Amino acid sequence: MDIKKVLKTILPFALGGFLVWYSLSDIDIPNLLNQFKSANYWWITLSLFFGILSHISRAYRWSFMLEPLGYKPKLVNNILAVLVGYLVNYTIPRAGEASRALVLKNYENVPFEKGFGSIVAERIADVIMLLLILTVTLFLQFDFIYELLTKLVDPSKIIYVLFGLLAFFIFFTLYIKKAKSGFALKIKTFLIGLLEGVSSILKMEKKWAFIFHTFFIWIMYILMFWVVTFAIEGLNVPLGAILVGFIAGAFSIAIVPGGIGSYPLAVAKAFVLFGIAEAPSEAFGWIMWTAQTAMIIVFGGLAFLLLPVVNKNK
């Protein structure tokens, strides 16, 4: 038994379980349940609709990566593979991408390595979009972030902190550039892959369609997040808090599979920074996470059942 692989599977869920306990230990559970009961589920349904649109768009975008390789899988199989991938990520950390490639291998005869490679290129585009949203948020919320920093750090020392960060960035860049082994080499390989992924996207035949769907997917993600704020009574969230909360939630999902425990906690803490009351912020985090999780379980489960039905001849 590979202990390293076992730990990679168990530790994220252990962390998620701890975060569930931690986030719920300080919450008024009866009040949280009342928030669930009084929530406007019309807005939550609209949020799930945006989520489904993003999944369909992701499946359609995937075809742009596969066509240059000589494969044109049916859109329905792409959609079902994407949904299966999301569900598998909830059970086996980081295995969703592999399961997507396996679905197309089994039902569309797309070689696993080619299908998986196309998914990696897709993920590079998603990383770039997340970084773009982060950059836009930093610009839009510069005053707020500066004010927050001045509360945490003596204003006269901020300039030294900035110079320190700049010096660290320069040193880190030079160190990564010369890396030949270890963790630094992994970062270097990732950054090289990122650049290669960008260049491959810009060279593809339907690059503008790919770019359009990439923006569409992430706009749907933000809308999915934003509309749920209207579902909770007394929750008034400004645009800045929406963006910061969205980014916090995205990073929490990257750390813990499905954002178990981490998602509600991260989003609530982000909202509180903007002076939003803690109770509705926590309720929003849990309602948003529950709705997303339920969608993945229901539609991912249906995708598993429908794949052999849709592909009877396989």
Nearest Cα neighbor of 214 from 117, 101, 121, 89 is 121
Task: Judge whether residue 195 has pLDDT over 70.
Answer: no
pLDDT of residue 298: 92
Supply the DSSP symbol for 234.
T
CB neighbour burial string for 64-82, b if at least 16 within 10 angstroms, e if fewer? bbbeeeebebeeebbbbbb
* Triad 116, 117, 123: Cα angle to 5°: 90
pLDDT of residue 240: 85
Higher pLDDT, 225 or 248: 225
CB 70, CB 48: distance < 8 Å: no
- Separation between Cα atoms, residue 311 and residue 314, nearest integer Å: 5
- Work out the average pLDDT over 192-214: 73
Higher pLDDT, 306 or 35: 306
pLDDT of residue 127: 86
pLDDT of residue 46: 96
Residues sharing a CB contact under 8 Å with residue 298, sequence separation 6 or more, in sequence order: none
Nearest Cα neighbor of 57 from 74, 82, 85 is 82
**What mean pLDDT value characterizes the chain?**
80
| Domain positions in the chain | 29-310
Number of H helices and number of E strands within the chain?
13, 0
pLDDT of residue 76: 93
Give the range among 15-19, 49-53, 70-74, 295-299 with minimum mean pLDDT: 15-19
pLDDT of residue 206: 80
Task: Judge whether residue 68 has pLDDT over 90.
Answer: no
Task: Judge whether residue 189 has pLDDT over 80.
Answer: no
Give the range among 182-186, 254-258, 282-286 with minimum mean pLDDT: 182-186
Give the chain's end-to-end CA distance (angstroms, integer): 34
42-61 tens-digit pLDDT = 999 999 999 999 999 999 99
Higher pLDDT, 96 or 105: 105
- Work out the average pLDDT over 207-220: 92
Residues sharing a CB contact under 8 Å with residue 170, sequence separation 6 or more, in sequence order: none
20-49 tens-digit pLDDT = 555 555 666 677 778 788 889 999 999 999
Residues sharing a CB contact under 8 Å with residue 8, sequence separation 6 or more, in sequence order: 93, 94
Nearest Cα neighbor of 51 from 282, 275, 290, 236 is 290
Q: What are phi and psi of 93, to 5 degrees?
A: -55, 130
DSSP labels, 164-225: HHHHHHHHHHHHHHT--SHHHHHHHHHHHHHHHHHHHHHHSTTHHHHHHHHHHHHHHHHHHH
CB 286, CB 264: distance < 8 Å: yes
161-174 tens-digit pLDDT = 667 767 877 777 77
Torsion angle, CA of 168/171/172/178, rounded to 10 degrees?
Answer: 180
Which residue is listed with tokens 């950059």? 135
133-181 tens-digit pLDDT = 988 888 887 776 666 656 555 556 656 666 776 787 777 777 767 766 6
Task: Judge whether residue 205 has pLDDT over 60.
Answer: yes
Tell me the torsion sign for CA atoms 41, 37, 242, 258: negative
Q: What percent of the chain has pLDDT over 90?
A: 22
pLDDT of residue 117: 79
